[in-house]
Amino acid sequence: MRIAILSTNPGLYSTQRLLTAAAERNHEAVVVNHLNCHVMIEGGRPTVLLDGQELDSFDAIIPRIGASVTDYGCAVVRQFEMMKVFTTAKSQAIMRARNKLRSLQVLSKAGVGLPKTVIANHPRNGNVNRLIELVGGPPVVIKLLEGTQGIGVVLAETSKAARSTIEAFYGLKKHVLVQEFVAEAKGSDIRVFVVGGKVVGAMRRQGIEGEFRSNLHRGGNAVSVSLTAEEEQTAIDASRALGLKVAGVDMLPSDRGPLVLEVNSSPGLEGIETATGIDIASHIIAYIEEKIIGDEGDTVGV
């Protein structure tokens, strides 16, 4: 097969691992910078161009679309879809997952466990207090709708701090989610990697001392973890609800079961491969094989 990895940085760990995994399974993979692609739109003949050349010889694409370029990246993915090229992540699913509010609404409808969350359109004065009360009072977690990798996430330990933070964000014309703080998680969360509707790896991430965010980008550490049956099913249900075939599902352990924080449509491989020792990249390539050439007998052991 010929596989295009849509990535703006060929040197990234995840991109390199996918290139290696494809080569080891006797496929040709190349990196295509989607920001340099041109989308040609005409009746009945969708085309993607790079340096003036049509990209019409790929069997599959693996989108690695950064949050800051979601719109154009998804336009390129959508064009490949129109060209009948298989993709590990549909453009609509990427857009759905990237919108925190929309994704939570979809997950809620699907019955997936979630932290109590509220959003309002520029609340004023007493309405801010009401938002805080609706999620159980302080401490509360305040998140920018467009934040990633723990950026734009604040823990407000008092009502006064929560009000100040919310009002400051709204003053900057930023929309925020106000979410309950799950104390029993103790600054940790679980990242579950789902490929083709199956869990292929999981790690527990722990924030550094004094830090409630467990993102590895924020200095947290990670170890391999065995999931309960409920945690595994929650991850599968969450990725299915959003239409993602390759996903990183982030969840908090709680007294009422796993609570999904976010579903990542372009999850990094370095943290989970390092923590678990599992070849996640080969699972992704094997999934493409299964969907395109039906080679179900050639699977990767977990």
For 204-259, how does the pLDDT look when each residue is reduced to its tens digit (9 = 90+)? 988 665 555 545 445 568 899 999 999 999 999 999 999 999 999 999 999 999 99
- The domain defined by 2-89 folds into Rossmann fold (3.40.50)
Residue type, 275: A
Degrees, nearest 5: CA angle 265-206-274: 60
Backbone angles phi, psi at 155, to 5 degrees: -100, 115
> Residue 213: its pLDDT value, please?
52
The residue-averaged pLDDT of 121-146 equals 79
> Residue 150: its pLDDT value, please?
55
CATH architecture of the domain with residue range 96-112+184-289: 2-Layer Sandwich (3.30)
| Residues pairing with 142 in the sheet | 154, 178
> Residue 138: its pLDDT value, please?
87
In the block, residue with structure tokens 């336009």: 75
> Residue 147: its pLDDT value, please?
55
pLDDT of 148 higher than 60:
no
Residue type, 231: E
| Residues pairing with 156 in the sheet | 140
Write out the two tokens for 153. 């996430």
* Res. 21 pLDDT band, cuts 50 70 90: very high
pLDDT tens for 118-133 read 987 765 655 788 888 8
- The domain defined by 117-181 folds into Dna Ligase; domain 1 (3.30.1490)
- Neighbour count for residue 146 (Cβ, 10 Å): 15
Give residue limits of the domains in the chain: 2-89, 96-112+184-289, 117-181
> Residue 298: its pLDDT value, please?
46
d(CA 176, CA 170): 8
- Residue with the larger pLDDT of the pair 136 and 173: 136
> Residue 257: its pLDDT value, please?
93
Least confident stretch, 60-74, 86-100, 133-147, 275-289: 133-147
- Neighbour count for residue 53 (Cβ, 10 Å): 8
User: The sheet that has 60-63: what strands, in order across it?
Assistant: 28-32, 2-6, 60-63, 86-87
- Taking CA atoms, 16 is separated from 23, 129, 265, 299, in Å, by 11, 48, 18, 21
What 3-state DSSP class applies to 26? coil
Least confident stretch, 51-65, 105-119, 169-183: 169-183
Q: Give the max Cα distance, the chain.
A: 63
Write out the two tokens for 226. 């065995």
The average confidence (pLDDT) of the chain is: 88
> Residue 3: its pLDDT value, please?
98
The residue-averaged pLDDT of 197-201 equals 97
DSSP β-ladder status, 28-32 and 53-54: unpaired
pLDDT tens for 40-57 read 988 878 999 998 899 988
pLDDT tens for 259-293 read 999 999 999 999 999 999 999 999 999 999 999 98
The residue-averaged pLDDT of 89-97 equals 96
- Residue with the larger pLDDT of the pair 123 and 26: 26
In the block, residue with structure tokens 């340096």: 51
> Residue 40: its pLDDT value, please?
92
